[in-house]
């Protein structure tokens, strides 16, 4: 039985021009022959991801969504730059192959990487797969260690010294996401004003600078199908930056829903982190901070930031649905997720990270 991500015919309105793309590939990868086959990976709410088959080879193409998108979001060149820098230096980075910024090809910038075949865990385990409590714990520990390994890299040695501005990163993230949330807010979404004011008033000092992924989570990890506790890849680098690594940790914690969380929070989870053996958020933080001289309680700010940022991402996507810029039915319920995230942030402000 295969547990690899399945593909489907591209959704209406998200088709690619196969003839133009085949011509582009033929001019840059002349060894490829035969007909180009295109399928779409149906999961994900951000950039669109396609499987390309041609000449016996398999590739993955990433492009921005169709319709109006945030000016600073869905940056294909950013993802390409990071993957190129990490090639051979971070064992979980996919191999980038081609980048194209010519809109005449597909109407938007895109890049192509070699397909990394493996298992990706979504909200629930695929039918036929089970993980013991010990295996689940091992997988969680390895994910945290992979995150620490990324932050331990010398971004200057990677050639990414000019990639971002680490000074003032925390302030820019709070002010930037506050602006983006207000711009994307629809009448049926919460204001988040109390949370934004709390974050602004309690901004901590910078805790150093590292290459941050900004979407480091379990369902962006590719696992070995023969040993699902072994991570073989990390995907979705479109929001990578140089900044405070604890902000990156907070962004990841926002996705980490545990078994004793309120039902409404468990209802919007996207990862199987409620399974027996999974680390709790506090265990994730303790493992990440081991030897860092910080306490788990020091991470509450970053957790609240992560919840707010995740709500901002969801609200930007929902904005497109609300205004009829996309018909994808998955996007309609996102406003309810935004409401749950706002309530969760308020609870954390009142009582600390649970």
Helix (H, G, I), strand (E, B) or coil at 100: strand
CB 247 within 8 A of CB 305: yes
Which helix (H) or strand (E) covers residue 127, if one does? none
Which tokens hold the place of 162?
């000019």
C-alpha distance from residue 218 to each of 194, 202, 279 (Å): 30, 29, 12
**Number of H helices and number of E strands within the chain?**
11, 9
**In this structure, are residues 42 and 11 in contact, taking their beta carbons and an 8 Å threshold?**
yes
Do 18-114 and 133-351 fold alike per CATH? no
The reported pLDDT for the residue numbered 292 is 81
> Was domain 133-351 assigned CATH 2.40.10.10?
no
∠112-248-131 over CA atoms, to 5°? 75
**pTM, 2 dp:** 0.90
The mean pLDDT value of the chain amounts to: 92
Q: Which long-range contacts (CB under 8 A, 24 or more apart) does 288-295 make?
A: 288/144, 288/147, 288/148, 288/249
pLDDT beneath 50, residues of the chain:
1, 70
Q: How many residues does the chain have?
A: 354
Q: How far apart are CA 114 and CA 37, in angstroms?
A: 15
Separation CA 289–CA 207 (nearest Å): 12
Query: 245-253 and 281-289 helices cross at what angle (nearest 10)?
Result: 160
Residue 74 CA to residue 47 CA, distance in Å, equals: 6
Where exactly are the structural domains of the chain?
18-114, 133-351
pLDDT in tens, 227-258: 999 999 999 999 999 999 999 999 999 999 99
Handedness of CA 237, 239, 244, 246 (dihedral sign): negative
Give dist(CA 262, CA 266) in Å, integer: 6
CB of 80 closer than 8 Å to CB of 113 = no
Res 215: pLDDT: 95
Helix (H) or strand (E) holding 320, with range, is: helix 300-322
For residue 5, what is the DSSP state?
P
pLDDT score, position 46: 67
Q: Which CATH architecture has domain 18-114?
A: 2-Layer Sandwich (3.30)
* DSSP 8-state code for residue 8: B
């Amino acid at each position: 039985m295969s547990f690899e991500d399945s593909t489907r015919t591209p959704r209406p309105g998200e088709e690619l021009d196969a003839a133009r793309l085949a011509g582009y590939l033929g001019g840059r990868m002349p060894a490829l022959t035969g007909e180009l086959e295109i399928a779409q990976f149906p999961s994900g709410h951000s950039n669109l991801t396609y499987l390309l088959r041609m000449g016996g080879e398999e590739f993955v193409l990433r492009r921005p969504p169709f319709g109006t998108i945030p000016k600073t979001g869905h940056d294909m060149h950013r993802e390409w730059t990071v993957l190129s820098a990490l090639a051979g230096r971070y064992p979980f980075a996919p191999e980038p192959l081609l980048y194209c910024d010519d809109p005449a090809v597909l109407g938007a910038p895109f890049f192509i990487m070699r397909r990394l075949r493996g298992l990706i865990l979504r909200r629930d385990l695929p039918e036929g797969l089970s993980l013991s409590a010990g295996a689940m714990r091992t997988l969680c520990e390895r994910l945290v260690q992979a995150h620490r390994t990324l932050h331990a890299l010398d971004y200057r040695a990677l050639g990414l010294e000019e990639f971002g501005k680490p000074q003032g990163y925390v302030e820019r993230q709070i002010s930037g996401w506050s602006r983006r949330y207000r711009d994307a807010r629809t009448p049926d979404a919460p204001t988040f004003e109390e949370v934004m004011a709390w974050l602004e008033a309690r901004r901590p000092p910078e805790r150093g600078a590292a290459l941050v992924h900004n979407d480091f989570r379990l369902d962006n990890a590719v696992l070995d199908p023969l040993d699902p506790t072994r991570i073989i890849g990390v995907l979705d680098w479109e929001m990578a930056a140089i900044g405070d690594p604890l902000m990156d940790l907070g962004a990841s914690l926002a996705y980490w829903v545990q078994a004793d969380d309120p039902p409404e929070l468990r209802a919007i989870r996207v990862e199987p982190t409620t399974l027996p053996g999974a680390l709790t958020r506090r265990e994730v933080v303790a493992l990440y901070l081991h030897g860092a001289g910080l306490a788990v309680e020091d991470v509450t700010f970053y957790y609240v930031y992560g919840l707010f940022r995740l709500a901002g991402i969801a609200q930007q996507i929902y904005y497109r649905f609300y205004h009829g810029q996309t018909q994808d039915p998955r996007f309609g319920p996102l406003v309810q997720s935004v409401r749950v995230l706002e309530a969760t942030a308020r609870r954390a402000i009142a009582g600390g990270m649970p």
